Amino acid sequence: MQGSANLNVMLKAARKAGRLLLKDFGEVENLQVSMKGAGDFVSRADIAAEKALKAELTGARPNYGWAAEEGGEEPGTDPTRRWIVDPLDGTTNFLHGLPHWAVSVALEHKGEVVAGVIHDPVRDETFFAEKGAGAWMNDRRLRVSARNRMIEAIFATGLPFGGRADLPETLQDLARLLPACAGVRRWGSAALDLAYVAAGRYDGFWERRLNAWDLAAGILIVREAGGLVEPLRKDGDILGDGEVIAANEAMFDKFARVIRNEA
């Protein structure tokens, strides 16, 4: 697929950060790690990856704004566009030597995500999309799964850790969903969860209390692969609230009714 100039900048930046992270992942035992809070670690590798992304993205588009996990938010001289970046989604996996983590880069224009890249360096899989141009993984067009029976479907979520307040809600979700489906997975990277919905590997995904940089690229990739993405609360704001529900079109209503407790 021939992408726009902006998408090519994003792909180059994500792959460059991925190479840095992969090198550090090979020496994960030697990483110097500082604690940022219960269950929320930040590593030297994470910060180095964000610096590489920022140098590449702001070097190519110095007037765009910036929002990222480590570096916070910076307005650009162009107020209509900003990069939304997670240099390492799945930090806890990374620090435990688990090979399931990704680099996520999104471009927002006038409040709407118009391009997204999720790069998995370990598997050399790069998921990407531009608004109106479909979703891709490397050189393959992506489509969400065609399953329409809940009992045959696999869903993904994140489980609250470290005493987070949303644990009771998530346990109630699981109590309703598990008897109705083929399984629930918790692999520790929201960006890859959404990419896997787009690729048809998962049939749906939901989670609460995420950040914009966890979600921005993935929600566009799912939509461009033919999936539906909505706020958990129908009147909500996905990026603002950090709550999302996504699935293929055939399954969405049934899945959403269970998660929203409307069944």
- Helix residue ranges, H only, 90-231: 91-95, 167-177, 190-198, 212-224
pLDDT tens-digit profile of 76-101?
999 999 999 999 999 888 878 889 99
Q: How many CB atoms lie within 10 A of CB 30?
A: 8
pTM for the full predicted model: 0.93
Give pLDDT, residue 95. 79
Q: Where are the domains of the chain?
A: 5-141, 150-259
Residue 128's region, left for phi above 0, alpha for psi from -120 to 50, else beta, is beta
pLDDT tens-digit profile of 95-124?
788 899 999 999 999 999 999 999 999 999
Proportion of the chain above pLDDT 70, given as a percent = 93
Classified by CATH at the fold level, domain 150-259 comes out as D-Maltodextrin-Binding Protein; domain 2 (3.40.190)
pLDDT tens-digit profile of 171-227?
999 999 999 999 999 999 999 999 999 999 999 999 999 999 999 999 999 999 999
pLDDT at residue 243 tops 60: yes
Q: What is the CATH number of domain 5-141?
A: 3.30.540.10
> Is 216 in contact with 106 (CB distance < 8 Å)?
yes
